[in-house]
Chains A and B, each alone.
Chain A
Amino acid sequence: MNVVAEGYNAFETKKTPTGTIKYLPDPQSVIALISSGKLKEHILLVQGGTTTFLTPALTMGAIGVITLSGAPESHLGILSREFQMPCIMTAYRTDSDARYVTGGKNDEHFKAMIAALDGKKVTLDCTNGEVGRVVLAD
């Protein structure tokens, strides 16, 4: 099992969604993805752990999400549990010591995470109560 990233697991689930990671930088990219009809082909990568940004994706049945900040107590963590959509939060690369710092300057960390994950085909493993794992599918 090639684990490329880990993070807080929003909730325990046996679901193991597989898809190509797609980074969503702004609301327009969220709307464009919904319009493309390819939402369910992707694991969504977002910077924040808030709910509103991903609203249409949640509504239309996103299969899984990775965030670069936030925790299960964050609004997206709460909603992912309600939708039973696997969600790994404040993800970090397993081959790097770089971590998200609350209130800190995280731009470089975010860029590195996006560069490392965007476009990869992965499976989310959210069986553990605390740690969610992003596993390479290819």
Chain B
Amino acid sequence: MKQMASYTKRYEPSDDGLRFQDLVYQGNFHGMEPVPDGILGDKVMKQRAKSKVLEKVSHGDVLKDQFTIDELNDLNNYLAWNIWDVLVMRATEGESGMIPRQEYEILAFMHEFYRWPEILQMTNDEVGAQGIIDIGASARREIGTKVNCVHDWCIGAVGFGMGRCGLLALEVIKPQDYIEESNIILKFMQRILWGKRQDGYILNSQDRYRCIIHEQDVLDKLYGEIEHFEEGSDSHGAFVHFNAAAELLAFLDHYDCRLGLGDTGPYPLPNGKVLIVRDLFTNEEAYHWSDVCDHENVPHCYTMVLEIDAEAMGLEEIRVNDISTTFTRPKNYIPYVTGGAVFVREKWNTPMSEVYPVKISDLASRLTGVQQATLKLYSKTARMSRRQLITNGMYVYYIDMILPHLRLAGTYEKACRDLNFWEIDHRVSDYYYDITKRGFAQATVPQKIFSGEGYLPFPDNADLRRSKYFWD
């Protein structure tokens, strides 16, 4: 017999949420109780913070240019736990057999930590702190925008957190190095995310895994196009199959990473159901391999709007995590999708007034286009050398994670022209040969990153202006 839906209990302050996994997190908290996943984990991490940076912060706080050492360390610790929380189980997936993801990931992490500070600071100089906040806020009124959870999270969690962690593991930097640059990256992330959420938090995990960002009139417009159906109907089948096929192409176009997806929600509906708004980025014009998507007339983004019957599902918990992915308990929400709508954004800069809906009955030809592009892209990818795959994958991370913010700031061309955005730093080029030695990419990095033990704190007495001055 199906249980009554209990997911709304998760939003009561005293509730600790469910555990989605048996593993626990230790990180930098030696000698202390390990931290669990989910809502309880967030509570513990906030309790252990030395500063107030993990609580709701004000507009004035976000406009300040400088974090304190305690704030930097609290963000470092929280992001390390958050990374573990969302990725420790994914990280069990091993080698892909197609794309050497661990290798391209670690190179991208380190490259980002070296190169992004200059590019992000230039962008901040061009548009100002408020301008960065406004870029985050733009996501409240748009769909099909890559200014979304996963991209915004990546700025700090990947570029700072994993990048610094990787370089520490490779023993090419020390904990007291690059403090000024770390501050630049984390301030940029905080401003974007604060502008997007506007509730004082920056991460979904701080808000019981909710990403309720869209303005009501935007939601009303999306919901107005919803077509209702029953499980087993042609419409249900066509909608969920298109969702799956477009999601698969989004993964492949983004080299098997989460940057192709973007969920927000869960938005509560007056009828007791919940809404998930899902962007599937099926054609990124920045990638040369995406030409096959052009040939099949696949747009930049398909946005899927899913109405889920929480009561029929017996929904116990729903998490829209910080890498833009929805997980539920029970796990299978697809049979309980009772309504759907599909929207198209042809290019990344197509005005919202020109974003248009597609009827479910008209999806068949679009599905064919998505499938043809997928097969062509697979065939193309299967012929690439290991070096090509790693290079392309590294660009997907290093370029795409901040591309949407630079585009909206109008600084992408300047970054390419004046700061060699698409060049690879000499040091990282050399690391290519180091990461396959002694299992660095396959074993050391995952262990350091996903156990949390590699995110060493900044020393308490460190100078906030410190960069790196000595290479030994």
Query: What is the interface of chain A, defined by CB distance below 8 A to chain B?
Result: 10-13, 25-28, 31, 46-53, 55-56, 58-59, 67-76, 78-79, 81-84, 90, 100, 102-104, 106, 129
Contact = CB atoms under 8 A, between A and B. Distances in A.
Nearest to B332: A11
Contact of A103 (B97, B245, B325, B446): B446
A28 B378 CA distance: 11
Interface string B321-352: 00001010011101000000000000000000
A75 B332 contact: no
A80 B268 CA distance: 26
A51 B248 contact: yes
B94 A68 contact: yes
A81 B255 CA distance: 20
Closest 8 CB pairs of A and B: A49-B93, A69-B94, A70-B93, A82-B244, A50-B96, A103-B443, A74-B93, A27-B382
Nearest to A129: B330
A73 B90 contact: yes
Given A70-B94, A73-B89, A81-B332, A52 B439 contact: no
Interface string B179-214: 000000000000000000000000000000000000
B365 interface: no
Nearest to A58: B248
Given A73-B327, A82-B240, A104-B443, A50 B92 contact: no
Interface of B: 86-87, 89-99, 101, 240-241, 243-245, 247-248, 251-252, 255-256, 258, 325, 327, 330-332, 334, 371, 374-375, 378-379, 381-382, 439, 442-443, 446-447
A27 B251 CA distance: 16
A49 B371 CA distance: 21
- Interface residues of B, dominant DSSP: helix
Contacts of B244: 58, 79, 82-84
Nearest to B321: A73
Given A103-B443, A104-B443, A48 B381 contact: no
Given A50-B98, A103-B442, A90 B92 contact: yes
A82 to B, nearest CB: 4
29 contacts: A11-B332, A27-B98, A47-B95, A48-B93, A48-B95, A49-B92, A49-B94, A50-B95, A51-B248, A51-B252, A51-B256, A52-B255, A52-B381, A53-B96, A53-B98, A56-B375, A59-B371, A68-B94, A70-B94, A71-B90, A73-B90, A74-B89, A75-B256, A79-B244, A81-B331, A82-B240, A82-B243, A82-B244, A83-B244
Contacts of A58: 244, 248
Contact of A82 (B327, B334, B381): B334
B382 A28 contact: yes
A12 B127 CA distance: 48
A52 B98 contact: yes
Contact of A59 (B248, B255, B256, B443): B248
Q: Which one of B97, B258, B327, B331 has the highest number of Cβ atoms from chain A below 10 Å of its Cβ?
A: B97
B92 A79 contact: no
Nearest to B251: A51
Nearest to B99: A52
Nearest to B245: A59
A75 B334 contact: no
Nearest to A28: B382
Contact of B374 (A31, A55, A75, A129): A55
Nearest to B261: A78
A58 B212 CA distance: 32
Nearest to A102: B92
A129 B330 CA distance: 7
Contacts of A25: 97
A123 B120 CA distance: 53
Given A51-B252, A81-B334, 17 more contacts: A10-B331, A11-B332, A27-B381, A27-B382, A50-B101, A50-B256, A53-B97, A56-B374, A56-B375, A56-B378, A69-B94, A74-B90, A79-B244, A82-B243, A82-B247, A90-B92, A129-B331
